[in-house]
Chain A
Amino acid sequence: MSGIAPTATRPAPRGGGGSAQSLTSGPRRGDLVFSGVVRAAAIFLLLLMATIAGFLVFRATTALNANHANVATYTGQWAPDDTPAKFGIGSLAWGTLVTSVIAIVIAAPVAIGVALFISQYAPRRLAQVLGYIIDLLAAVPSIIYGLWGILFLVPHMQGASQVVGDVLGWIPIFNTNGPLGRSVFTAGVILSIMILPIIAAISREIFLQTPREQVEAAYALGATRWEMIKLAVLPYGRRGVGSAIVLGFGRALGETVAVAMVLSTTYNFVTKWLQSGGNTIAANIALQFGSAFKIGQGALIASGLVLFVVTFLVNLLARRITGRADIPKDERWSLLSVFRPGRRTAAHMESSYDANAADVPDREGTLQARDQAPEVAADDTAGRARPHRAAHGAVGDTMLVSPSLPRRIRSTFAGGMTVGTFVLALLPLISILWLVVNNGRHAMSPSFLTHSLRNIDDSQFGGGVYHAIIGTLEQSGLATLIAVPIGILVAVYLVEYGRGALATAVTFFVDVMMGLPSIVAGLFILSMWILGLGQHANGFAGALALTILMLPVVIRSSEEMLKLVPDSLREASYALGVPKWKTITKIVIPTALPGIVTGVMLGVARVMGETAPILLVVGYIQNINVNPFSGDEGQATLPTVIYNTYTSPEHASNDRTWAAAFLLIVIIMVLNIIARLIAWWKKPGRA
């Protein structure tokens, strides 16, 4: 995982602690305690995952033994509760891959464009705000994406699919001869919108961490802004962006409700992607869970297990691809090479300006000081309007070059493209928000915030969601309290201590956990905590299920952010004789805090909108219950209100669906802003 760091010589776990110790009379007590704590967190995570995996395997085996069909190839009805039981998972796995691949192919370029726009092109003052706007997409609950998909996207996709089918119909997958719209293609488009904020937010944070020296070095060489991005920002961020894409892919694989709502379910291996039909593992779980009995649940769990395997294979592949980036001679980015290939090299300038420049692609043919008349300053051209990013310091005569017109045009064009991706990402957000606000305003009122739904029937207007606001805040708050410390400790372990089998195993399980369908987390808590240990089905049980879903998001994003902390900071701290544990808690974590907070907020946003696991482990009630630890009394949350009111045919009830969704988005956004304000306030060197 060393590719991100600027220095190529750094050992895998962040070193330095050992040398610090050598100056003292032996290992310090604080270090021993701290390393013990982070190791314990890592081992706890392993045990948790092993328990979940063991439980899943046990439940799945029973169902697979009862299955009378070939689980890999059977394409008939999903009928695990029939006698004889019959179900197939192969076609579901195929559909899952297809939708997720479509999603990532659409989302990844757009998200990277958005991240570049926000971190590199947008005016500094606006950048933060623009980032929050994109983060709003992550705050939209899955069920609202589904509603938007049915009401807005599917009708529009029918026309769009027809056009694509007419033009590309000669390619088998785009062939059409039936109803269009409720297809894997539409599902992929919805998924791409849902995973875009994750990829964009993490990429943005990583791009913002690009060392100033590399940026300035690129400008000093006469690079336009786009060339600087290709020389410094993209190479620096590629590992992190790769991880962000994997995170997004994991979410796409495990997404349930939205896909279940837009996709017309069939159990065949989908070959015509524009045509209605198809299914995914997670959507199938959401669809079939409500009518599943014992073997049925086992069959769904078996499919969840397959999703584990698929997620793992995808992660493995992604790691292989991004892993190659460690090799300095890597040519992956040569496609994006600043100068057209074949030009001769003018000079090898690596390490002449900064020791850290090793990460700037220094291969032959990339850098070339064009022989042009030097102009007065390096920062007066259109592509480099931002003085603080320009190379004031580089005043060597030969360095001061002005980019030729084609290069400036290319830079401007690239900038325009990133603006374009940002606008593209805004369109669904505006459409969704309009839908939610327009429908939500009917039921929204002060009493909606201060009253419960007790004694309000479906056809009756009035009532409110006070009880659900309490439940949402308490359950996700408890989940955050549990998941964040454990998650950060595990991330610290992976980045600062991890080596050997334990680190490999933890990394592996965190990746696999990303693809855990939320309903399986709910099932696990139901079976182990409530039924196995005899605990109550209360708000706390809901919080535990949410914790399981939140942990991988917190760990992976914190890990990426911790890796971005320059080693020079650690080394400086060690050089002053500061012990490793203090260096981590006082220097490393605070430096990475804004990024960690972003990751935590993404995690909170994800779990706050969760419906399925909560329905399983917390009873839905319409009256106020402020105590999440109260017996079996149950507790409402905003998503369960959305779910319960949405299924009603009555308009009064449906109005409350939209108002609750509106409220949920607002709450997630407000929490986001508060958390970021805290992170900004706590950031070292703020003044």
Chain B
Amino acid sequence: MAGLTACGSDNNSSSSSSGGSSSTSSAAGGSTGSSSSSGSSSANIACANGTLTAQGSTAQQAALNKFVKDYQTKCGNSTNVSYNGTGSGPGVTAFTNKQADFAGSDFPLAASQQPAADQRCGSGSKALSVGTIPGVIAVMYNIPNVSKLNLSASTLAKIFNSKITKWNDAAIAQENPGVNLPDLTIQTFHRSDGSGTSYNFSNYLNKTAASDFPAAANKQWPGSGGQGQQGSKGVAQAVQSTSGGIGYAEVSYATSNHLNTANIGNAAGKFVPLTIPNAANFLNKAKVDTTGGNYLFNFDYTYSADDAYPAVLVTYEIVCSTGNESSKLPELKGFLGYLASDGAQSQLPNLGYVSLSSDQESAVAAIYSGLS
């Protein structure tokens, strides 16, 4: 390896690993977490040499980048894992075409995709969709001098359908007594690319306030009006630079752009602040569908505890149940097993994601250890 790399170096262990001094919410925990937990969690890591190629969902990329690092650090220079954030569509396509050893996806495989994916895995095998990396969707806003904002699902639906156009609208004022709302035009921002974030946020609105948000959940933002932006990054930047702006994105984008996040209403009309534990509480109540060896999450939007934040999402790994190349199997099981381990899952909150509950964690880990 040293001979191949000529004058460049893959060895970054000596370089200043002053991680986590970024300003995200993960800042404090991130720095200690990234340097210490990789050591403490290393006991869970089953190492194997080789090269693992994966691609897909950008939503789980930050988490996978961290876990790839943990895994490679523990296992040494003969272990390579790459995760390429091409998007869920290309990820699943690449997996189906045997270009990727596993795929990351915002969605489980659809019924129409399942046969081709199963065929890729060989006879008698099945392509599994395993929910592994959960996340939480923040509603970010930019209103001068307003740092606390309650928005019910119904009000959010009207805002994102352009029915409410001013921040001092009576409906918003009623939910925010004592808050001085300005006479400012609302500018809503949504994803212009197809995404699991749009799907899950529109699902929350549709399931919680169907009369104000009749459009069914869709990866293409189904609301009417507003402005589209590319990627969560684009949405966050647009809100940040637009007075009166509001948009939705994974929570890490809200914190890195210093944006306030709204307390959103659940089915019972209570306003729940965005915290990772609140999101985890909601996630724990999701109904899990394990038919066919999959691990699919169906969120229960009627669950309306005070501490259950209802705008969440889960990203999936798509992998063959059997028929994996024997040369790659140990590394595949080792790496995916690490994703479902305590060592990895406990880091997720610091990375802007949500951990699986311990029950969910062990169920997912069992699926990965059963791969062959």
Contacts and interface: CB of A to CB of B under 8 A. Distances in A.
A290 B80 contact: no
Given A290-B87, A650-B62, A463 B99 contact: no
A530 B55 CA distance: 16
Given A179-B227, A462-B16, A633-B51, A530 B99 contact: yes
A291 B16 contact: no
A649 B253 contact: yes
Contact of B187 (A179, A648, A651): A179
| A451, A459, A466, A651, most chain B CB atoms within 10 A | A459
A622 B61 CA distance: 13
B192 A462 contact: no
A291 B87 contact: yes
B63 to A, nearest CB: 9
Q: Interface residues of B toward A: which range?
A: 35 or more
A451 B256 contact: no
B8 A466 contact: yes
B230 interface: yes
Nearest to A652: B22
Contacts of B281: none
Nearest to B162: A178
B26 interface: yes
Interface in B234-256: 234, 236-238, 241, 250, 252-253, 255-256
Contact of A624 (B8, B20, B257): B8
A459 B90 contact: no
Contacts of B18: 460-462
Given A287-B230, A291-B195, A461-B19, A626 B89 contact: no
B326 interface: no
A623 B228 contact: no
A616 B82 CA distance: 14
Interface string A177-191: 001001000000000
| A296, A458, A619, most chain B CB atoms within 10 A | A458
A461 B12 CA distance: 11
Contacts of B51: 632-633
Contacts of B8: 450-452, 464, 466-467, 470, 624
| A77, A291, A648, most chain B CB atoms within 10 A | A291
A286 B252 CA distance: 24
A264 B237 contact: no
A621 interface: yes
Given A459-B20, A459-B22, A624 B192 contact: no
A649 B65 contact: no
A623 B253 CA distance: 27
B194 interface: yes
Interface in A284-300: 286-294, 296-297
Interface in A514-552: 530-531, 537
B30 interface: yes
Nearest to B225: A178
A649 B352 contact: yes
A277 B227 contact: yes
B193 A264 contact: no
Interface string A252-267: 0000000011011110
Interface in B87-111: 87-90, 92-93, 97, 99, 106, 110
B193 A291 contact: yes
| B16, B26, B84, most chain A CB atoms within 10 A | B84
Interface in B166-199: 187, 192-195
Contact of A644 (B85, B237, B241): B85
Interface stretch (B142-150, B214-222, B301-309): B214-222
Given A261-B234, A457-B69, A79 B90 contact: no
Given A451-B8, A454-B72, A649 B61 contact: no
Contacts of B23: 651
Contacts of B187: 179
B34 interface: yes
Given A452-B8, A454-B10, A622-B82, 9 more contacts: A289-B90, A290-B195, A459-B31, A461-B16, A620-B85, A633-B51, A634-B53, A650-B24, A651-B23
16 contacts: A182-B229, A263-B192, A265-B192, A287-B194, A291-B87, A293-B113, A297-B89, A451-B12, A456-B12, A467-B10, A470-B8, A622-B82, A623-B10, A623-B80, A649-B233, A649-B352
Interface of B: 4-13, 15-24, 26, 30-31, 34, 51, 53, 55, 58, 61-62, 65-66, 68-69, 72-73, 80, 82, 84-90, 92-93, 97, 99, 106, 110, 112-113, 187, 192-195, 218-220, 222, 227-234, 236-238, 241, 250, 252-253, 255-257, 351-352
Kindly list the 9 A-B residue pairs having the minimum CB-CB distance in the complex, ordered from nearest.
Answer: A290-B87, A291-B194, A466-B8, A460-B19, A265-B192, A265-B228, A264-B227, A620-B84, A649-B252
